[in-house]
Amino acid sequence: MRLAPRLSLRIIHNLKQVAHLSEMQNPSKPTILNLPVTQKVDPAQVKVAAESLLNGNIIAVPTDTIYGVAGLVQNSEAIRKIYNIKNRDQAKPIAISGLLDDLLPGPVTIVLQRSSQLNPDLNPGTPLVGIRIPNHPFIIELARKCGGPIALTKLWPQLDVICDGGQLGDTEFSRRGSTVVDLSVRGKYRIIRDGSAKKETVEVLERYSLQDAAS
């Protein structure tokens, strides 16, 4: 398996795990898409990634902070794969794509009360869900192509497609991941994780007269 040379050392380490697991458990190897380094999106690459998701696979995608694992929210098999390969606590919400104009797209995950229309296999141990729209043209086009929300979490091995968008972020601060804020209580906000955009996020929330639940 050819390792994508433009990924950061942290991501390359995980790709080596992918190659090792592929050799031991699966004769097939992940497809690596070398995405354009510009803001331009290649429709053919979006099509490959979307078809993989629509077939119930999980893939690695770039965001505006760090790389993540993606699978379709309404596909229970894909959700189980995410939980299984990460040994993830089902009471810990997985972020999905959504919209809040003044914060998204951007490096922010917004935690809200979940809708009954969401796949019940997603976050079964909590009534909450994290909404995230990374400000990255590839994943935005990918969500449009799939026609539904995508479950997103941090990078791990055992993937069908790896979308290599190069090294993400030019500072250690930008690699802290998204700022996670709980807006599940009306009129209140609670910062769950500082991430890379806490200051900007709090400014927006307080502009709308939301109060810090910790104060």
Least confident of 13-22, 134-143, 152-161, 200-209: 13-22
Distances (CA, A) of 179 to 110, 125, 176, 183: 8, 22, 8, 13
Question: What pTM, to 2 d.p., does this model score?
Answer: 0.64
Bigger pLDDT: 79 vs 29 = 79
The set of residues, in sequence order, having a beta carbon less than 8 Å from that of 120 and lying 6+ positions away, is none
Using DSSP, state whether 191 is helix, strand or coil.
Answer: strand
Least confident of 24-33, 59-68, 136-145: 24-33
For residue 177, what pLDDT is reported?
Answer: 81
Mean pLDDT of 6-18: 39
pLDDT digit string (tens) for 62-105? 888 877 888 898 888 888 887 776 555 555 655 555 446 778 88
Q: What is the CATH code for 9-212?
A: 3.90.870.10
Question: At residue 14, does pLDDT exceed 50?
Answer: no
Distances (CA, A) of 153 to 54, 162, 195, 205, 211: 18, 14, 14, 24, 28
Question: At residue 190, does pLDDT exceed 90?
Answer: yes
- Strand order, beta sheet including 108-113: 31-34, 161-164, 59-61, 68-72, 150-154, 95-96, 128-132, 108-113, 179-182, 188-193, 211-212
| DSSP labels, 73-121 | TT-HHHHHHHHHHHT--TTSPPEE----TTT-SSSEEEEEEPPTTS-TT
CA distance 204 to 83: 33
Closest CA to 97 of 80, 77, 122, 124: 122
CA distance 94 to 25: 26
